Structures are given as C-alpha cells and as structure tokens.
Chains A and B, each alone.
Chain A
Amino acid sequence: MNTDQKVISVRNLTKKFGAFTANDSLSFDVYKGEIFGFLGANGAGKTTAMKILCGLSYPTSGEIMVAGLDVYKQREELKKNIGYMSQKFSLYEDLTVFENIRFYAGIYGMSSKEIKAKSDDLLQKLGLVHARNKRIGELPLGWKQKLAFSVAIFHNPEIVFLDEPTGGVDPVTRRQFWDLIYEASRNGITIFVTTHYMDEAEYCNRISIMVDGRIDALDTPERLKKQFEAKDMDEVFLKLARKSNYQE
C-alpha cells in the first residue's frame, strides 16, 4: 500500500433521494493497490456510494475524484479506468463465456488477438477451458461470479469495484474468489469491495463501516478491533450497527 498515491479521493459526498439522505457527507481516500472494504448493514448506503464512484449515478454534492478524474466532468473517461461487478449477476446469460469476454473487452478497445490470448490464459487459470463455448446461463453461480470478476478486470483497470461479490456463494468458492482478488491486488489493481461477511472484512487492508449513510469507522481491521475493544470484526460491526436509527 502506497499512501502517497490516492486512487479515490472523496470529500463530503452527499446523495439525497427526496427527503432521504442515502449518503451523508462521506469523506475518505483509497490508496493505490490496497483492498478497501466498504461495510455496512443493508440500506446503509454502500451501493449508492459505489454507483456514484463508478459514474452510474449523480451525487447531490461533494468533490469526488476517481483514478485522478472528476466524476462530474470526466465520467466517460473515468469509465475506461475502472471495472465494476454488480450485486446482481449481469453478464449476458444468452451469450457464451467467450462471447461475453470478447464483447466487453471489445468495448474497451482491446484487439481480437489480445482478447484471444488473454482469454485463453484466463480460462486456463479458472479451469473453465471446457466451458469456453457454453452459455453463461448454464454455469453454476460460483463460476459465474468468478467470471464476472475476471471480466471486470480483463481490461486491466486501475480500480475495480465489487458490490457484494460473494453473495450466495459457498465457502470454498468464496475462498477461491478471494485468491483472485489478492492476485489482482498484487498486479496493482486497487480493490474497492462491499461485503456482509465479517471474515472477508479481515482480508481487507482497510475497512470503513457505514451506518445510516455516514462512515462511522475507518481503519485497518486490527486497529478497529482495538479501538472498539472487540475480539473480532463481527463484534465491531454489531457495536456500530446497533447505533442505527433504523433498527426494527
């Protein structure tokens, strides 16, 4: 982690839907090459903030720079430098594995030669060579998620945003998924990930915890545990989440 190089810089990000404030004056930095965990209960505003950082949604106010680019003015330029994997699986299920890769890589302007070579390596690595020409809809969820992640970083972006990437996936596949994340991180891709699993939070270099649209804590997992006098992240999370006004 290199604290000199900010990949994401957010100052006072606020997003309102009518009277409801989904993100209340968020400020944080993400540094190059780190794995940044974005935690919070359902409805805390994680996805909203992430969509703004990806240029999918307009912020109400705030200064936001991603990959050195302004999300207001340079949104399309910014999109060349990021990858995104949504909460809901969103590759084309009617297309084959290779067709999906070729399609998305094509949008980022990669040559077909490059696409072919890189996708062969990728499928080899994932052990999906036999599934190259299978329709994605036929694959099990775990494979789909690994593919979705691989497609999101196929064009070698500076940052990849992962919105609950391991939801509904079995523990073994989750572990494999995190191996992929580590590998991407080693290759210099900054990871911005939201999750519900507190064991996954421990894998992150730094985490922020959102409660009711605000960031209530931001530090390394070790320091957070110390700060909240908790034995694990679970406890930290529960202590913070209990403060929420939206308890049922």
Chain B
Amino acid sequence: MLPIIFAMPIIQLCVLVFAATFEMKNTNVYVVDRDLSSHSRQIISKFYGSPFFTVKDVDFSIKNAEDELSKDNVDAILYFENGFGKAVDKKEHASVQVLVNAIDASAAGLYNAYILSVIQDYNLQVNSKIQSVDKNNTVLQVKNTYSYLFNAEMKYIPYMLPGILVLLITVIGLFLSAMNVVREKEIGTIEQINVTPIKRYQFLIGKLIPFLLIGFFELGVGLIIAAFVFKIPILGSVWLIYLVAFIYLLTILGIGLFISTQTDTQQQAMFIAWFFMIIFVLMGGLFTPTESMPEWGQKMNLLNPVAYFIKIIRMIMLKGSGFMDILKDLSILALYSLVMLSFAVNRYRKVA
C-alpha cells in the first residue's frame, strides 16, 4: 500500500500535466481546393507553415474529405469554391467554407478560432496590399492591443499543475480516510478500540495525523516537481500554501472520516467517496472556469472544498497573493473543516 500511496500521485502529476492539455497542436486539416488560384494556394501554405495544423491532403473531391472526417482521420475541412481567387481579385465577397467535427464542442470552438485567425491573417495581408495601391482610400482600422496578466504567455502548464496537485491530495486524503474507520469495522478491530476508555476525538485525531503527513509529503513532492521539472515560478509563500493545505486537508479528511463512520462496508464508503469526488472535481474549476457555471452551480460550489483550494493555490502560485488576499476563502474553508470534523466525531459511535 505504501508505495502505491507515494508513487501514484507523482506519476499522475507528470502524466496529467503533459497530457491533459487544451492547447491545439495537432489539428488535422483536409483541404479541398477547387479554385487552384494563387490566393487559395497562399492560404493553404499558411496552414502548412502553422505548428498547430497538419494538412492531411489537398484534393478536389469534397466526398473524400467528408469520408475522412467521418472516419475521424481529420478534425476539419477547408473548402475553396471555384472562383474564390477571382472574387478576391475583384474585391468582391469571397468565402471559404470550414467544416469542423464538433463532437467535442469546446475543441471544435478552438479549431474554428484557430482556422479563422489564419484566414484573418491572410485577409489583412490582402487588405493592406489594396490600401497601399490605393492610398487615397484609407480604411479606418481599430486594433486591439492586450496583455495577459499573471500568465503572460498563456501557458497551459502553470494553470493546470496547481489544480492537478489539489486533485491528487484530495484523492489520497478522501479515499484513505473514507476507507479507514469502516475497514476497522469490517475486520473487527474497532470493537477492541470501542471497549477501551479512549475518547472519540482522540481516536479520530489519531486517524487524522498520518493522513495529514501523507498529504503534506505529496504536496511537497508536487511543489518540487512544479518548480524543478516544469519550472513554474512559485510567486507566493510556500508556507502559506502549506497553511491552506493544512486547513484544506482537515476538511477533506473530516468528510472522509464522516463517510467512514456512517458506512458499514468499504464498498459503500468507496461509492459515496466517489460520488462526492466526481462532483467536487468536475465543478471545482480544474478543467472549466467556475465563473461560467450557472448560478445554482456557483452556489453549490460554496460547499466545494476543491473549488476553494484550486482558486487559492492558483492565486498564491501564479499571482503571488498573500495571506490577506485569500483570508476570506481560507476562513470559509476553516469553518468548513470544523463542521466536518465535529460531524465525524459526533457520528462515530462507540456504542451500537
């Protein structure tokens, strides 16, 4: 068991951070070019040149392209009608059709946006050529400039890693504690404990401490990997992260021990722990921003410890937030941990 507890999160951290990415790097595009003009060629060459796209084939037949799309061999089709180039030259309305596999809606949105930006790019090129030829006819253009704060290059790993770290600590904490007391019920050792004068809180504190230490250890390993393997700068205080982790773990362990005292078999405990785990993680803001959830979902998140910790740890690691910045969320978490732990102590019965 011990090697599993320690090796599993490290492997998960390394694998998940690299694999669970939103960045599109290998979008396969099938091009149907019925125009064969210099304009269509130039656009196609832009796709060839982009690191985000792989042009699978250039063809005349839309049928072949659609077959490939059905077989899932390509993610998008780019379709140039005959006459596209001429329309551009005549400064008429020229259109390119983009067909995207939208089974994964969010991925489809990204494909579309990337493709459009490539075409947009070409648009600008053409426009500026026209403008330079026809100097009297200046077109007013509004240009956006922007800068991304706290993660300037919009890198994916600094965003994902803190969240995954939270996830790993949660899995270990919730499952180990949820299985623990109920396991003693199953093998019968709890009876020998219940017949001693041990106080209920003493028993549960005894259960808490080892899990806290395991959680701390894993957090430490995770932060070291973050800093030295992924080179993520940790802007805030590591001690502050640990303070939050302490309170967070008390909450999670409280929930786990509460589940454990309420169930009779490890199976039941496992099932209930999974139930909460899935909700906590999918709603916790690891993969999707919590701000875009419906209002009732955001209200539910007030009871989601994972959401608090993901938010706080990102603030500390990426923004360098200090104690006062996170105080409000931290106090809620502290209150939460007190409630869950007292539930656990209260519902643990020494007498049947």
Contact of B192 among A55, A75, A91 (CB under 8 A): A91
The reply to whether the CB of A172 lies closer than 8 angstroms to some CB of chain B is no
Q: Which residues of chain A have C-beta atoms less than 8 A from B188's C-beta? A: 86, 88-90
A75 and B195 alpha carbons, distance in the complex (Å): 10
Q: Are A108 and B191 in contact (CB under 8 A)?
A: no
Q: Are B191 and A75 in contact (CB under 8 A)?
A: no
A58 and B349 alpha carbons, distance in the complex (Å): 11
Contact of A56 among B187, B195, B198, B199 (CB under 8 A): B195
Q: Are B195 and A107 in contact (CB under 8 A)?
A: no
Instruction: Name the distance in Å between A216's Cβ and chain B's nearest Cβ.
Output: 27
Instruction: Name the distance in Å between A114's Cβ and chain B's nearest Cβ.
Output: 17
A173 and B58 alpha carbons, distance in the complex (Å): 86
Q: Residue on B with the closest CB to A85?
A: B192
Q: Are B197 and A108 in contact (CB under 8 A)?
A: yes
Binding stretch for chain B, among A19-27, A32-40, A76-84, A192-200:
A76-84
A92 and B351 alpha carbons, distance in the complex (Å): 20
Q: Are A76 and B197 in contact (CB under 8 A)?
A: yes
Q: Are A79 and B191 in contact (CB under 8 A)?
A: no
The reply to whether the CB of A104 lies closer than 8 angstroms to some CB of chain B is yes
Q: Which residues of chain A have C-beta atoms less than 8 A from B194's C-beta? A: 56
The reply to whether the CB of B61 lies closer than 8 angstroms to some CB of chain A is no
Query: Mask for B185-209, Cβ within 8 A of A = 1, else 0?
Result: 0011101101111110000000000
Contact of A80 among B189, B197, B352 (CB under 8 A): B197
Query: Mask for A47-90, Cβ within 8 A of B = 1, else 0?
Result: 00001001111100000000000000001110110101010111
A77 and B196 alpha carbons, distance in the complex (Å): 10
Q: Which residues of chain A have C-beta atoms less than 8 A from B196's C-beta? A: 79, 104, 107-108
Instruction: Name the distance in Å between B187's Cβ and chain A's nearest Cβ.
Output: 7
A77 and B187 alpha carbons, distance in the complex (Å): 26
Q: Are B351 and A90 in contact (CB under 8 A)?
A: no
Q: Are A86 and B192 in contact (CB under 8 A)?
A: yes
Q: Are B189 and A92 in contact (CB under 8 A)?
A: yes
Q: Which residues of chain B have C-beta atoms less than 8 A from A91's C-beta? A: 189, 192
Q: Are B195 and A55 in contact (CB under 8 A)?
A: yes
Q: Which residues of chain B have C-beta atoms less than 8 A from A88's C-beta? A: 188, 191
A91 and B191 alpha carbons, distance in the complex (Å): 10
Compute the total of residue contacts between A and B using a CB distance below 8 Å.
Answer: 49
Q: Residue on A with the closest CB to B199?
A: A76
Instruction: Name the distance in Å between B150's Cβ and chain A's nearest Cβ.
Output: 46
Q: From known contacts A56-B351, A56-B352, A57-B352, infer whether A90 and B191 are also in contact, taking CB-CB under 8 Å.
A: yes
Q: From known contacts A79-B197, A90-B187, A107-B198, infer whether A58 and B192 are also in contact, taking CB-CB under 8 Å.
A: no
A84 and B304 alpha carbons, distance in the complex (Å): 42
Interface positions of A from 110 to 165, Cβ below 8 Å from B: none
Instruction: Name the distance in Å between A47's Cβ and chain B's nearest Cβ.
Output: 11
Q: Which residues of chain A have C-beta atoms less than 8 A from B352's C-beta? A: 51, 56-58
Q: Are B351 and A55 in contact (CB under 8 A)?
A: yes
Instruction: Name the distance in Å between A181's Cβ and chain B's nearest Cβ.
Output: 18
Interface positions of B from 99 to 127, Cβ below 8 Å from A: none
Instruction: Name the distance in Å between B186's Cβ and chain A's nearest Cβ.
Output: 11
Q: Which residues of chain B have C-beta atoms less than 8 A from A56's C-beta? A: 191, 194-195, 350-352
Q: Are A82 and B189 in contact (CB under 8 A)?
A: no
Q: Residue on A with the closest CB to B352?
A: A57
**Most chain A CB within a 10 A radius of its CB, from B187, B192, B350, B352:** B192
**Most chain A CB within a 10 A radius of its CB, from B187, B191, B195:** B195
A93 and B352 alpha carbons, distance in the complex (Å): 24
A54 and B192 alpha carbons, distance in the complex (Å): 11
Q: Are A107 and B351 in contact (CB under 8 A)?
A: no
Instruction: Name the distance in Å between B145's Cβ and chain A's nearest Cβ.
Output: 63
Q: Which residues of chain B have C-beta atoms less than 8 A from A82's C-beta? A: 195
A15 and B187 alpha carbons, distance in the complex (Å): 25
Q: Which residues of chain A have C-beta atoms less than 8 A from B191's C-beta? A: 56, 84, 86, 88, 90
A86 and B192 alpha carbons, distance in the complex (Å): 7
Q: Which residues of chain B have C-beta atoms less than 8 A from A76's C-beta? A: 197, 199
Q: Which residues of chain A have C-beta atoms less than 8 A from B199's C-beta? A: 76
Instruction: Name the distance in Å between B345's Cβ and chain A's nearest Cβ.
Output: 14
Q: Residue on A with the closest CB to B192?
A: A90
New contact pairs (16) apart from A58-B352, A88-B191, CB-CB < 8 Å:
A51-B352, A55-B350, A56-B352, A57-B351, A58-B351, A75-B351, A76-B197, A77-B197, A79-B196, A90-B187, A90-B191, A90-B192, A91-B192, A92-B189, A104-B192, A108-B196
A-B CB proximity, top 8 nearest: A84-B195, A88-B188, A90-B192, A79-B197, A90-B188, A80-B197, A107-B196, A90-B189
A-B residue pairs in contact (CB < 8 Å), sample of 27: A51-B352, A54-B195, A55-B195, A55-B351, A56-B194, A56-B195, A56-B350, A57-B352, A58-B351, A58-B352, A76-B197, A76-B199, A79-B196, A79-B197, A82-B195, A84-B191, A84-B195, A86-B188, A86-B191, A86-B192, A90-B187, A90-B192, A91-B189, A93-B187, A104-B192, A107-B197, A107-B198
